[in-house]
Amino acid sequence: MSKKITIYTADNCPYCTRAKALLQQKGVTFEEIRMSWGDEKAWADAQARSGMKTVPQIFIGEKCVGGYTDLAALEEKGELDALLGR
Protein backbone atom coordinates (compact mmCIF):
# COMPACT_ATOMS: atom_id res chain seq x y z
CA MET A 1 0.00 0.00 0.00
CA SER A 2 1.35 3.41 -0.95
CA LYS A 3 2.11 5.88 1.80
CA LYS A 4 1.19 9.55 1.78
CA ILE A 5 4.07 11.72 0.60
CA THR A 6 4.34 15.32 1.76
CA ILE A 7 7.02 17.73 0.62
CA TYR A 8 7.58 21.18 2.07
CA THR A 9 9.02 23.53 -0.55
CA ALA A 10 9.85 27.18 -1.16
CA ASP A 11 10.05 29.24 -4.35
CA ASN A 12 13.36 29.41 -6.22
CA CYS A 13 14.68 26.31 -4.49
CA PRO A 14 16.61 24.07 -6.91
CA TYR A 15 16.68 21.14 -4.48
CA CYS A 16 12.90 21.36 -4.14
CA THR A 17 12.59 21.19 -7.92
CA ARG A 18 14.90 18.16 -8.06
CA ALA A 19 13.03 16.36 -5.28
CA LYS A 20 9.67 16.89 -6.98
CA ALA A 21 11.12 15.74 -10.31
CA LEU A 22 12.47 12.53 -8.75
CA LEU A 23 9.11 11.75 -7.16
CA GLN A 24 7.28 12.51 -10.42
CA GLN A 25 9.74 10.33 -12.34
CA LYS A 26 8.83 7.47 -10.00
CA GLY A 27 5.13 8.11 -10.65
CA VAL A 28 4.48 9.09 -7.04
CA THR A 29 1.73 11.52 -6.14
CA PHE A 30 2.54 13.90 -3.32
CA GLU A 31 1.16 16.85 -1.42
CA GLU A 32 3.29 19.95 -1.82
CA ILE A 33 3.20 22.52 0.96
CA ARG A 34 4.70 25.75 -0.34
CA MET A 35 6.19 28.03 2.27
CA SER A 36 6.99 31.66 1.61
CA TRP A 37 10.37 32.85 2.80
CA GLY A 38 8.80 35.43 5.14
CA ASP A 39 6.25 33.14 6.83
CA GLU A 40 7.99 32.53 10.15
CA LYS A 41 5.11 30.45 11.56
CA ALA A 42 5.12 28.02 8.63
CA TRP A 43 8.89 27.60 8.92
CA ALA A 44 8.67 27.09 12.68
CA ASP A 45 5.92 24.50 12.24
CA ALA A 46 7.92 22.65 9.57
CA GLN A 47 11.06 22.73 11.71
CA ALA A 48 9.14 21.40 14.71
CA ARG A 49 7.87 18.50 12.61
CA SER A 50 11.15 17.59 10.93
CA GLY A 51 13.94 19.09 13.00
CA MET A 52 15.24 20.68 9.79
CA LYS A 53 15.65 24.37 8.93
CA THR A 54 15.98 23.87 5.18
CA VAL A 55 13.77 22.80 2.29
CA PRO A 56 12.77 20.54 0.81
CA GLN A 57 11.52 18.55 3.74
CA ILE A 58 10.20 15.22 2.53
CA PHE A 59 7.89 12.99 4.54
CA ILE A 60 6.91 9.46 3.62
CA GLY A 61 4.01 8.71 5.90
CA GLU A 62 4.98 10.36 9.17
CA LYS A 63 8.71 9.70 8.68
CA CYS A 64 10.92 12.60 7.62
CA VAL A 65 13.43 11.19 5.15
CA GLY A 66 15.29 14.51 4.91
CA GLY A 67 15.89 16.65 1.86
CA TYR A 68 16.68 16.03 -1.78
CA THR A 69 20.13 14.54 -1.24
CA ASP A 70 18.68 12.10 1.29
CA LEU A 71 15.88 11.15 -1.11
CA ALA A 72 18.34 10.68 -3.98
CA ALA A 73 20.58 8.54 -1.76
CA LEU A 74 17.64 6.28 -0.89
CA GLU A 75 16.90 5.89 -4.61
CA GLU A 76 20.57 5.20 -5.39
CA LYS A 77 20.71 2.47 -2.71
CA GLY A 78 17.47 0.92 -3.97
CA GLU A 79 15.64 1.63 -0.69
CA LEU A 80 13.16 4.28 -1.83
CA ASP A 81 10.56 1.93 -3.32
CA ALA A 82 10.27 -0.02 -0.06
CA LEU A 83 9.75 3.20 1.89
CA LEU A 84 7.09 4.24 -0.60
CA GLY A 85 5.26 0.98 0.02
CA ARG A 86 5.88 -0.44 -3.44
CATH number of the domain bearing residue 77: 3.40.30.10
Q: Is 12 exposed, middle or buried (0-12, 13-18, 19+ CB in 10 A)?
A: exposed
**The pLDDT value given to residue 1:** 60
Closest CA to 60 of 81, 41, 42: 81
Q: What is the pLDDT of residue 37?
A: 85
Q: How far apart are CA 20 and CA 11, in angstroms?
A: 13
Is beta strand 5-9 parallel, antiparallel or unpaired with respect to 31-34? parallel
Structural domain harbouring 53: 5-83
Tens-digit pLDDT profile for residues 3-59: 899 999 999 999 999 999 999 999 999 999 999 888 888 888 888 989 998 999 999
Residue type at position 20:
K
Overall number of domains in the chain: 1
Q: Is residue 64 classed as helix, strand or coil in its secondary structure?
A: strand
